[in-house]
Structure 1
Amino acid sequence: MINRCTPVALAAALLMAGCSFIPTYERPAAPVPEAYRSGSTPQGDAAGAQAAATLPWQDYFTDPRLQQLISAALVHNRDLQVAVLNIEQARAQYQITRADQFPTINAGATATRAPSVAAGSNSASYNNSYSVGFMTSAWELDFFGRIGSLKEQALAQYLATEEGMRAAQVSLVSAVANAWYTLLADEELLAISRRTLETREASIALTKLSFDAGVTSELDYRQAVSLTEAARATLAQQQRQRALDENALVLLLGQPLPTDVRASLEGTRLYQVPALAPLPAGLPSDLLVQRPDIRQAEQALKGANANIGAARAAFFPRIALTAQAGTVSSELSGLFKSGSWGFSLAPSAMLPIFDAGRNSANLDAAQVGRRIAVAQYEKAIQTAFREVSDALDSQATLQEQGRAQNAQLEAETVRLKLSDLRYRNGVASFLDLMDAQRSLFALEQSAVQVRLAQLQNQLLLYKALGGGSTQPTPLASTASGAAAR
């Protein structure tokens, strides 16, 4: 039978809800020095430059071909798609946890027919009962904030997933640019190897004529053959590496390399790549807001903090409310008649008395989880500091290495011309000419590698400072809205 009463008790219970045992969150101190060893600006003209975290990748990478590749990767890369879908999943999980704060109301209808035997009678009669109404079962009143703590943990997980997507985008933008520059370096190395092989094939033909004429010895001829075949082997190796590097770029793009971009590769040199803008490094403390992976670690720390509140609340009574409102009648035709309406409230409370240490163990696990999250947060900061420091420390030395190598390359180019002239005039031996050719070939390849290392170092600095996350991906636009509290 449904009893009548006023909803005063329900309102009072709602007003009393809101207690929380979540510890007060305090951001841990950054376990890194206050400044970088190489200074706050990697280049002298970077003082007035825009910070990497606020510089869109479209403004940093001005090569139209590279912009086309990055745009394609942001749409088609499968790892980024998974990161975006993880946001959707985390948001749905947050909504599920948040829904636990509200009662679940169901509509129901029941009909029962049971035999009833009157006292002193052998004949049985039947009693009918019909009911229609709304009901909620075991709605937990969150007096001690257990559900609220779980909601805060789910919200932190959702926000951490969003930051994880941004971190994935930063890595993807940098990886595509790195793969593109590597492919350009491969093309330049192939051009050097082809040119060197052609020169050595011409040299071996001349040496063979001299050997047949008895002017030079077989030793000179065999040395020329060895040098030529070494160049041929290097060319084959570089062709293989170029194919592998293109495959790596295709995987990042999530689609084949565009035809127009592929056609533009031939003849492109690394020194023709548009210069990348100088970037101010700022202070290590700036990384806390610039790097999405650090913000992700901090959200995970907040979630672990909220878990402690839920574990603490488990030591206190869990109060639930079952309610029902509707109409009951012994006859189907009387369900909605006057006097058949009513409702009932049935609160219940459970206080843990003996659980074999389960609640204590849960609290210990939550507290250890928070310490783990602190360590992971601090490690993320230290990793970011190391990446920025590596880029800054390498920048000046790479620049000096490139300058010295270019000067050496110029000297070796002149040396080869002089050695060739001396050999043709019989002043120098073929060994001198061969040594000059080998040295110039190695230096030409090394100069390309140093130029590539300089570009990769600038990419590392851009990524380490949080660059590449300011523009949301088309896929992420559906998951970028803030969760409703």
Structure 2
Amino acid sequence: MKTLTLLVAALVMAGCTSLAPDYRRPDAPVPGAWPALGAQPIARAASAAADRPWQQFFTDERLRTLIGQALAHNRDLRVAALNIDRARAIYRVQQADRWPTLNAGATSTVQRTPAGLSGSGRAETSRRHDLAIGIASYEIDFFGRVRSMDDASLQLYLATEQARRSAQISLVAEVANAWLALAADRERLLLAQETLDTQRSAFGLIRARVDAGVASQIDLHRAQTTVDAARADLARYSTQVAQDEHALALLVGTRLAPELMPDALVPVATLDMLPAGLPSDVLQRRPDILQAEHRLQAANAHIGAARAAFFPSVTLTAGGGLASRALSDLFQGGAGAWTFVPQIVLPIFDGGRRRAGLEAAQAERDIAVAEYEGAIQRAFREVADVLAQRGTLGEQLDAQLSLVAATSDAHRLSDVRFRQGAHGYLEVLDAQREMVAAKQALIGARFTRLSNQVTLYKALGGGWQS
């Protein structure tokens, strides 16, 4: 048994070669710098946003609490974590093929041979008892087939881990954006309620003026249309707020505490501008790109396994133990028994099966290269789009604030002129409609600016460290 163990160990050490191609990371098919916005280039810094955990990036304690609950209870993220457990188990199964499987067994055989078949012409009963430990059909990996399959399983396991990290980044950003969307719609709901109250007050005033004979029925009907429109807006935004709460509850995966809900849009990030870094530095750190690269490395390892199929395969079956005719003699001296059955199989003709398998593995590798390059290009566009939007958000917000101020003044002046009898109610309606639209657009601009911070943080790969 000592000799057998040393022989197996030597054969295991012999399987250290691999026929897989040397892996080389493909060049990133994107520019070396982020696109400039007009004449102003996008600012760059040495560190990437991925270095900032989400607990430090988000400043609102209510939002941080919700994100923590989502990471603990979200079912999609839980599935991603369980996929890691499954991939880890599959990798361990594949890794076990690199080592011989030792089995211990005991058998007892009793066989009766009839007189017509026995050499003595009499019926005979024979007995055999065996107790052995051995190796069954262990493949000695001279050409790296098992090792290549092991490497491929490892890379797929690592890709699954990166998929979970990518899912966590997406979940953090989705919770933050859903929370901001709820805050924006609650502001719109409040604006709709204030508009309805104002319209009802104006409707009562106009009805009194009609009764006094100083206003026409046309003004009264116009006032009624504004009240009905405000009622419709109030109902619509009430529905939207409820739907926002449902979407946030689904992301969090548990009951939403009322004290964690936002009443209005508030800043949620620590920095107005995040360090973007160079594309080559930032994009290579995104988990979705790392996932694509691990899949590429797995496809590269599969080529090694396909190449090894062209070479002889060597398997070993061996065992040693005790054997005797009588059970009482099994542990007596001289009962030792052993077997040693090495086997080599040289492929000669298989109708092109191995060649087709190699071509398929090479095609899978080429597909993985294209998917890796596509992931980089999509990530570059995502970051570039967010940066391009970010470059104009400040100007948009300033313009919207000025528009709200101008329309509010116009509405106030037109209302004064109407009350003085200088003109009809139509001018007041037009001014009020423009003011409400400007205020709604201002809420949208503020939401877009806050959401842009979250989206940029996600696009740069931040939020998964913890």
Which TM-score applies when normalising by structure 1? 0.91
How far apart are residue 269 of structure 1 and its match? 2.2
Give the whole-Å Cα distance in 1 for the aligned partners of 2:2 and 2:258: 77
* Contact 1:174/1:459 (<8 A) preserved: yes
* Contact 2:144/2:304 (<8 A) preserved: yes
How far apart are residue 120 of structure 1 and its match? 7.4
State the match for 1:430 in structure 2. 425
Instruction: Letter of the 2:95 partner, please give it.
Output: R
Encode CA deviations 1:425-473: one digit per residue, 9 max, x unaligned: 11132111111111101111010001111111111110000011111xx
- How large is the Cα RMSD of the aligned pairs? 2.0
State the match for 1:421 in structure 2. 416
Give the whole-Å Cα distance in 2 for the aligned partners of 1:423 and 1:4: 108
How far apart are residue 261 of structure 1 and its match? 1.6
State the match for 2:365 in structure 1. 370
Report the more deviating stretch, 217-226 or 335-344: 335-344
* Contact 1:392/1:461 (<8 A) preserved: yes
Report the more deviating stretch, 113-122 or 330-339: 113-122
State the match for 1:269 in structure 2. 264
Answering whether residue 67 of structure 2 is matched by residue 67 of structure 1, we say no
Give the whole-Å Cα distance in 2 for the aligned partners of 1:304 and 1:430: 73
- Closer, same or farther in 2 for the Cα pair 1:12/1:273, shift >3 Å? closer
Answering whether residue 438 of structure 2 is matched by residue 439 of structure 1, we say no
Give the whole-Å Cα distance in 1 for the aligned partners of 2:245 and 2:430: 33
How far apart are residue 242 of structure 1 and its match? 1.0
Give the whole-Å Cα distance in 2 for the aligned partners of 1:51 and 1:444: 36
Give the whole-Å Cα distance in 2 for the aligned partners of 1:428 and 1:60: 54
Give the whole-Å Cα distance in 2 for the aligned partners of 1:388 and 1:426: 56
**SS of 2:375 mapped into structure 1:** helix
How far apart are residue 48 of structure 1 and its match? 6.8
Give the whole-Å Cα distance in 1 for the aligned partners of 2:50 and 2:224: 54
State the match for 1:109 in structure 2. 106
Give the whole-Å Cα distance in 2 for the aligned partners of 1:161 and 1:48: 30
Give the whole-Å Cα distance in 1 for the aligned partners of 2:287 and 2:4: 52
State the match for 1:80 in structure 2. 77
State the match for 1:357 in structure 2. 352
Q: Percent identity?
A: 47
Give the whole-Å Cα distance in 1 for the aligned partners of 2:339 and 2:13: 20
2:309 to 311, 314, 331: 314
Instruction: Letter of the 1:328 partner, please give it.
Output: A
Instruction: Letter of the 1:77 partner, please give it.
Output: N
* Contact 1:5/1:344 (<8 A) preserved: no
* Contact 1:172/1:252 (<8 A) preserved: yes
Instruction: Letter of the 1:214 partner, please give it.
Output: G
State the match for 2:200 in structure 1. 201
**SS of 1:112 mapped into structure 2:** strand
Encode CA deviations 1:3-24: one digit per residue, 9 max, x unaligned: 9976665454334221211100
Answering whether residue 36 of structure 2 is matched by residue 38 of structure 1, we say yes
- Closer, same or farther in 2 for the Cα pair 1:200/1:167, shift >3 Å? same
Instruction: Letter of the 1:56 partner, please give it.
Output: P
Answering whether residue 26 of structure 2 is matched by residue 28 of structure 1, we say yes
Give the whole-Å Cα distance in 1 for the aligned partners of 2:94 and 2:76: 27
State the match for 1:140 in structure 2. 139
Encode CA deviations 1:78-111: one digit per residue, 9 max, x unaligned: 0000000000000000000000111111111111
Report the more deviating stretch, 7-16 or 251-260: 7-16
- Closer, same or farther in 2 for the Cα pair 1:276/1:451, shift >3 Å? farther
* Contact 2:183/2:264 (<8 A) preserved: yes
Give the whole-Å Cα distance in 1 for the aligned partners of 2:24 and 2:45: 34
* Contact 2:283/2:380 (<8 A) preserved: no
State the match for 2:95 in structure 1. 98
Encode CA deviations 1:406-443: one digit per residue, 9 max, x unaligned: 01101111111111111111113211111111110111
Mapping 1:163-312, distance limit 5 Å: 163-262=162-261, 265=262, 268-270=263-265, 272-277=266-271, 278-312=273-307
Answering whether residue 315 of structure 2 is matched by residue 325 of structure 1, we say no
Unaligned runs of 5+ in 1: 472-485
Report the more deviating stretch, 67-76 or 347-356: 347-356
Report the more deviating stretch, 115-124 or 235-244: 115-124
Give the whole-Å Cα distance in 2 for the aligned partners of 1:17 and 1:441: 76
* Contact 1:36/1:284 (<8 A) preserved: yes
1:459 to 447, 454, 461: 454
Report the more deviating stretch, 130-139 or 59-68: 130-139
**SS of 1:290 mapped into structure 2:** coil
**SS of 2:24 mapped into structure 1:** coil
Instruction: Letter of the 2:315 partner, please give it.
Output: A
**SS of 1:343 mapped into structure 2:** strand
Give the whole-Å Cα distance in 1 for the aligned partners of 2:6 and 2:268: 72
How far apart are residue 302 of structure 1 and its match? 0.3
Give the whole-Å Cα distance in 2 for the aligned partners of 1:9 and 1:68: 60
Report the more deviating stretch, 462-471 or 342-351: 342-351
Unaligned runs of 5+ in 2: none
Give the whole-Å Cα distance in 2 for the aligned partners of 1:97 and 1:85: 19
* Contact 2:57/2:269 (<8 A) preserved: no
State the match for 2:54 in structure 1. 57
Encode CA deviations 1:98-137: one digit per residue, 9 max, x unaligned: 0011111111111122235597744222221111011221
State the match for 1:158 in structure 2. 157
**SS of 2:318 mapped into structure 1:** strand
Encode CA deviations 1:204-232: one digit per residue, 9 max, x unaligned: 11111111222111111111111111111
- Closer, same or farther in 2 for the Cα pair 1:4/1:59, shift >3 Å? closer
* Contact 1:129/1:331 (<8 A) preserved: yes
Instruction: Letter of the 1:127 partner, please give it.
Output: S
Encode CA deviations 1:278-335: one digit per residue, 9 max, x unaligned: 2011111013432011001000000000011111111111110001110011111111
**SS of 1:191 mapped into structure 2:** helix
* Contact 1:4/1:343 (<8 A) preserved: no
How far apart are residue 275 of structure 1 and its match? 4.7
- Closer, same or farther in 2 for the Cα pair 1:218/1:274, shift >3 Å? same
Give the whole-Å Cα distance in 2 for the aligned partners of 1:202 and 1:259: 32
